[in-house]
Amino acid sequence: MTKRPIIIDTDPGIDDAVAIAIALFSEDLDIKCISTVSGNVGLDKTTFNALRLLKFFGKENIPVAAGASQPLLRPIVDASEIHGKTGMEGFDFEDPDMSLLRKESSIELMKQILLDSNEPVTLMPIGPLTNIALLLLTYPEVKPKIKEIVMMGGSTGRGNCGVMSEFNFHADPEAARIVFKSGLKLTMAPLDVGVRALISKEVSEEIRMMNKTGNMFYELFSRYRGSSFETGLRMYDSYAIAYILEPSIFETVNAFVDIETKGEYTSGCSVIDLKGYLKQESNATVLLDADPEKFEQWFLKSVKKCC
Ligand code: RIB
Ligand code: CA
């Protein structure tokens, strides 16, 4: 079976590290590049972290390019209180070979990969959507070469960063709105999935002993402030890769989604019209629920491959 080509746009980030690892070791995926964005921590750190992860996994052949260092219009926000000041607190990674960082911006690299590809490519953004918006605005000719965008972002309810806004959309609401108005096939994994697809304390203990990747994850989890071993960990970005690799874990709905960009208190809110009140055609598939057991089995099976 041919491998599915995919580009990961990311702001590592502890949960990003999990999603990246699972993607790298999937026999079903051809990772074309990793594009970094300012998000959980600044661009210099997310880029450094992406390179450190590839070195840890022995996958330094995967191209890495840095994208936007700040949101389209808004001031920079970060989530260092959740992921630590380095963005991947808790594990002592070796320093990467910075010469491996591509000289061109990730928007240029993604454009070239898409135009050169002989089949449409899946984009998996798991950070703020600044790079994806810039790609679509700068090079609209790439749109026919994008199979779909499967993102982590948004919430059908309350936020985890703003009262009504999830971090990735809160950080760059204008970028998120551009993506949701693009007409491309979109799937979003919102915060809501996190309540169901938890990584239990038992699973964390099991992966700790499983292999070097599981041990590294455990050390990162111990510093993650987005949830805890006791409550069960919400590795939000892993839901995006889980949907790509094992969609049967999830219950989905097609809905009209737009992003609030003008609200004094609500900018970044993902307005997900589950009842059709706005009388708009649906423009996204929304992951609404997950089977906890299926997710746990998939997660354990996936981490076992990461070695
Ligand atoms: O709100 C969760 C999202 O924000 C995740 O992608 C996490 O890594 C942070 O970027
Ligand atoms: Ca992320």
* Structural domain that includes position 89: 4-304
User: What pLDDT shows up at residue 228?
Assistant: 85
pLDDT at 1 exceeding the cut of 80:
no
Could you tell me which residues are beta bridge partners of residue 189?
152
Tell me the CA–centroid distance for residue 237 and ligand 1, in Å. Answer: 7
User: Is this model's pTM higher than 0.85 or not?
Assistant: yes
Per the structure, the count of domains in the chain is 1
Tell me the CA–centroid distance for residue 212 and ligand 1, in Å. Answer: 24
Signed CA dihedral, 78, 80, 85, 90: sign only: negative
- Identify the CATH number of the domain in which residue 108 sits: 3.90.245.10
Instruction: State mean pLDDT over 275-284.
Output: 98
Top mutation candidate among 45, 88, 124, 126 for ligand 1, by most atoms within 8 Å of CB: 126
Token output for 129:
């959507």
Q: Which ligand has its closest atom nearest to the C-alpha of 168? A: 1
User: What pLDDT shows up at residue 307?
Assistant: 85
pLDDT at 257 exceeding the cut of 90:
yes
Q: Which ligand has its closest atom nearest to the C-alpha of 10? A: 2
Nearest Cα residue to atom 1 of ligand 1: 167
User: What pLDDT shows up at residue 148?
Assistant: 98
What CA–CA distance (Å, rounded) separates 20 from 178? 25
CA-nearest of 117, 92, 101, 99 to 43 is: 101
Please state the atom number of ligand 1 nearest to the C-alpha of residue 166: 1
What CA–CA distance (Å, rounded) separates 131 from 129? 6
Instruction: State mean pLDDT over 243-271.
Output: 98
Phi, psi of 150 (to 5 degrees): -115, 110
Q: Which ligand has its closest atom nearest to the C-alpha of 78? A: 1
Mean pLDDT taken over the chain: 97
Please state the atom number of ligand 1 nearest to the C-alpha of residue 40: 10
Nearest Cα residue to atom 10 of ligand 1: 127
Is residue 46 exposed (0-12), middle (13-18) or buried (19+ Cβ within 10 Å)?
buried
Q: What is the pLDDT of residues 288-304, one digit of tens each?
A: 999 999 999 999 999 99
Position 50 confidence tier, pLDDT thresholds 50, 70, 90: very high
Q: In the structure, which protein residues have their CB atom closer than 6 angstroms to any atom of ligand 1?
A: 11, 13, 15-16, 39-40, 79, 126-127, 152, 160, 166-168, 236-237
User: What pLDDT shows up at residue 194?
Assistant: 86
pLDDT at 141 exceeding the cut of 80:
yes
What CA–CA distance (Å, rounded) separates 38 from 70? 6
Q: What is the pLDDT of residues 199-247, one digit of tens each?
A: 999 999 999 999 999 999 999 999 998 888 888 999 999 999 999 999 9
Q: Which residues surround ligand 2, an ion (CB under 5 A)?
A: 11, 13, 16, 126-127, 237
